[in-house]
Amino acid sequence: MKKIIIMVSFLLATSQLLSQKGIDLTSDKTLTKVFNETEIKGLESMIQYVDNMVLNRENETDINKAYHLFFEEIAQSKEYIVPFEEIEKYKFLENLDSIQFATIWNFAYHTNMINTGDTIYRNLDKFKMLDIKPFSKYMDYLKVIGKDDSYFKYLQQEFEGAGNLMQDSSEWFQKNHTKFDFNIPKNRLWATVYILRIEETYEMKLDRYLKNK
């Protein structure tokens, strides 16, 4: 009898944890109109990947609280925080279906110049970098939800105009994370994209690049 009670308690605790971690993207009707079933599964995989990191890093079981703690950490830290080892993160993204990956991302493999210390490196090939595509299914989604949400409208317009998220906008999100409920699909998805886009510094990338040449 004791074994049964322990097992039931374990299953209940596990189900509660999973329910806190998971999010139903299909509850966002705009999202289901923009993305097909395969693409949504890819978005869910990305969210789960980032969820696991945030929960473990912050030692939390409440996913919304964990995200807020994480953004507070990077906003307050004097050091540059890289959430994932780059090789591991790239492997995860490359294992997605190519259609799923392309809903948000692309890889660049060439940089014209890096100036570090007193040395200038030019025309680096196979210098891998992850970019958010300024024109993609995700940007289509931001454009639609931006009709009723000024923040996401601004994001979409910044990506379209500048091709990237500007430093001021990035810092604003970190400092104003309390304005967002990460149990809401559009906010959780943006938090996922925001965190995945955090790359190593050019110096860190260059150091590994030179070692592997």
What single string gives the DSSP state of each residue in 60-97? Answer: -S-HHHHHHHHHHHHHH-SSPP--S-HHHHHHHHHTS-
Q: Which pLDDT does position 17 carry in this prediction? A: 43
- Own/partner pairs for 56-63, CB < 8 Å, 24+ apart? 57/83, 61/17, 61/20, 62/20, 63/20, 63/21, 63/23, 63/182, 63/183
Residue 68, strand partner residues: none
C-alpha to C-alpha distance for 12 and 133, rounded to whole angstroms = 41
Q: Which pLDDT does position 11 carry in this prediction? A: 40
Q: pLDDT tens digit string along 3-48?
A: 444 444 434 444 434 444 579 999 999 999 999 999 999 999 999 9
Give residue limits of the domains in the chain.
2-212
Rounded mean pLDDT of 68-83? 96
Q: Which pLDDT does position 9 carry in this prediction? A: 40
Q: Which pLDDT does position 22 carry in this prediction? A: 77
Q: pLDDT tens digit string along 140-193?
A: 999 999 999 999 999 999 999 999 999 999 999 999 999 999 999 999 999 999
Write the DSSP symbol of residue 147: T
C-alpha to C-alpha distance for 2 and 148, rounded to whole angstroms = 54
Residue 28, strand partner residues: none
Q: Which pLDDT does position 117 carry in this prediction? A: 75
Predicted TM-score (pTM) of the model is 0.88
